[in-house]
């Protein structure tokens, strides 16, 4: 059978999803067109002195998609294959993510084309500080607040916060989130994405009338979010992790995989592949396992028109950004597979980043229990807001989430008098 050809450009997908939501909502043409494009974007060129004495030129981006609901918020990615269309799409999804959670933020995203794995600590610090100098007039605690994303870390956020504070002439901890706790970071930020996803899985099971205790979950991607997901799926939901994978392949065990043993094996060997007591499985095979919950936690566009019909999970929890194409969404909806869309499922990270920003601006810091309790309340409320629209309109869960988010942003634009 020949593969179905789909447009996998991430920004085209983001615009297509918005177009669908606009039709459902009956948005007027001006508002629809306004929301299809970023309000502003900045391209920067960053010279960095390398350890060998040479100077390399790096290209960076920052896209502020929409700020009708407040200062923009979004991560910063350091990746050798970063593209402006990826950043635009992620900025759009951040706009809908902050909106569906009811946060007082708009959406943004940033990127820099580089390979941190090939850079020394000193080179990485000079690049991080150079990025902030290049975009410094574009960001700020009351304008646009970056955070960590792919290949960026709390240490990188610390360098960036320090550089921005030097430029401002005083300490501005709220200009960046995802910082080390010592420099104003929030308790609970490390596992926030996975914990928030688990809260939505719990609520989805309630909605569907499923008992998850002892049921199976497969997790594609065993990076930061995937490891925490394996731990919390067991501890919070009683799920049995039967499969995990990384870029080199995956492993399967019907009896369950101990997340700590898998983590330690990956740290020692560079991959989960070869873990004793498991059999090898491909990333493609993992997606088609007979499990209660499937969690794509790595790459975009892994569920497509070519494999969606073979998915056997009852719930798909999108911890990754953009793992499901629009064509796959239609197939999964027809199969009654309940998809917890990415910008709801993985919103725990930005929610705790919001908590960090609140703590930074108020100078009052919360304990871990308070952070986790408030994260639970936010994620649960957002899930049922989406479930209500899903039920009332009879549309798939992604479009229900879009309707909630887009309507809120559209109303804010009109209330401000922009449209």
- Tell me the pLDDT tens digit for each residue of 129-146: 999 999 999 999 999 999
Q: Same domain for 236 and 332?
A: yes
pLDDT reported for residue 134: 97
Q: Same domain for 140 and 45?
A: yes
Residue 61, domain CATH? 3.40.50.10860
Query: Is residue 374 a part of any domain in this protein?
Result: no
pLDDT reported for residue 406: 98
Degrees to nearest 5, angle at CA 125 with 123 and 131:
100
Which residues 6+ apart lie within 8 Å of 223 measured at CB?
A: 246, 297, 298
Query: Is residue 19 a part of any domain in this protein?
Result: no
Query: Is residue 27 a part of any domain in this protein?
Result: no
Q: Same domain for 158 and 104?
A: yes
Cβ proximity of 268 and 290 under 8 Å: no
Q: Same domain for 197 and 320?
A: yes
Which of 345, 379, 405 terminates a domain? The answer is 345
Cβ-based neighbour number of residue 136 at 10 Å: 16
Q: Same domain for 67 and 158?
A: yes
Query: Is residue 389 a part of any domain in this protein?
Result: no
Query: Is residue 379 a part of any domain in this protein?
Result: no
Question: Where are the extended beta strands (E) located within 221-371?
Answer: 240-246, 249-252, 279-281, 293-296, 315-317, 338-340
Query: Is residue 5 a part of any domain in this protein?
Result: no
The residue behind tokens 């910082």 is 179
Q: Same domain for 274 and 407?
A: no
pLDDT reported for residue 1: 44
pTM of the predicted structure, to 2 decimals: 0.94
Which of 345, 371, 406 terminates a domain? The answer is 345
Q: Provide the token pair at 10.
A: 């991430």
Q: Same domain for 168 and 214?
A: no
Catalytic residues: 109
Q: Same domain for 67 and 178?
A: yes
pLDDT reported for residue 4: 59
Which of 286, 315, 345 terminates a domain? The answer is 345
Q: Same domain for 334 and 357?
A: no
pLDDT reported for residue 299: 80
Q: Same domain for 124 and 220?
A: no
The maximal CA–CA distance of the chain, rounded, in angstroms, is 63
pLDDT reported for residue 3: 57
Query: Is residue 197 a part of any domain in this protein?
Result: yes
Provide the number of structural domains found in the chain. Answer: 2
Q: Same domain for 78 and 140?
A: yes
Q: 349-371 burial by CB neighbour count: b if 16+ within 10 A, else e? A: bbbbbbbbbbbbeeeebbeeeeb
How far is it, in rounded angstroms, from Cα 386 to Cα 120? 44
How far is it, in rounded angstroms, from Cα 95 to Cα 204? 23
Query: Is residue 368 a part of any domain in this protein?
Result: no
Note down the domain range covering 216.
Answer: 192-345
pLDDT beneath 50, residues of the chain: 1-2
Residue 311, domain CATH? 3.40.50.720
Q: Same domain for 220 and 314?
A: yes
């Amino acid at each position: 059978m020949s593969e179905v050809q789909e447009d996998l450009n991430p920004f085209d997908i983001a615009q297509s999803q918005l177009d669908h939501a606009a039709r459902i909502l009956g948005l007027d043409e001006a508002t629809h067109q306004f929301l299809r494009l970023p309000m502003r974007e900045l391209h920067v060129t960053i010279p960095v002195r390398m350890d060998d004495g040479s100077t390399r030129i790096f290209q960076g981006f920052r896209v502020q998609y929409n700020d009708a609901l407040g200062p923009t918020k979004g991560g910063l990615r350091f990746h050798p294959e970063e593209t402006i269309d990826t950043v635009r799409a992620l900025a759009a999804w951040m706009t809908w993510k902050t909106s569906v959670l009811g946060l007082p933020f708009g959406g943004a995203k940033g990127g820099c084309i580089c390979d941190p794995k090939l850079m020394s600590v000193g080179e990485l610090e000079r690049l991080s500080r150079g990025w902030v100098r290049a975009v410094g007039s574009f960001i700020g605690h009351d304008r646009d607040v970056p955070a960590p994303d792919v290949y960026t870390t709390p240490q990188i956020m610390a360098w960036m916060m320090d550089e921005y504070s030097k430029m401002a002439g005083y300490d501005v901890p709220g200009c960046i989130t995802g910082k080390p706790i010592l420099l104003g970071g929030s308790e609970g930020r490390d596992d926030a994405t996975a914990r928030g996803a688990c809260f939505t899985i719990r609520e989805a099971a309630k909605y569907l009338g499923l008992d998850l205790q002892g049921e199976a979950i497969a997790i594609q991607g065993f990076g930061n979010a995937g490891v925490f997901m394996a731990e919390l799926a067991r501890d919070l939901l009683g799920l049995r992790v039967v499969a995990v994978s990384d870029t080199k392949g995956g492993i399967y065990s019907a009896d369950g995989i101990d997340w700590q043993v898998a983590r330690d094996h990956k740290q020692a060997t560079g991959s989960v592949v070869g873990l004793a007591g498991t059999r090898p499985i491909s990333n493609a095979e993992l997606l088609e396992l007979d499990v209660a919950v499937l969690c794509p936690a790595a790459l975009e566009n892994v569920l497509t028109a070519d494999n969606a019909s073979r998915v056997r999970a009852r719930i798909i929890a999108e911890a990754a950004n953009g793992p499901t194409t629009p064509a796959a969404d239609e197939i999964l909806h027809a199969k009654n597979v309940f998809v917890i869309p990415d910008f709801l499922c993985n919103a725990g990270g930005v929610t705790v980043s919001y908590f960090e920003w609140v703590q930074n601006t108020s100078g009052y810091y919360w304990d871990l229990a308070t952070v986790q309790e408030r994260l639970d309340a936010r994620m649960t409320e957002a899930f049922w807001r989406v479930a209500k629209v899903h039920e009332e309109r009879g549309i798939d869960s992604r479009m229900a989430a879009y309707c909630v988010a887009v309507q809120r942003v559209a109303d804010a634009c009109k209330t401000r008098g922009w449209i």
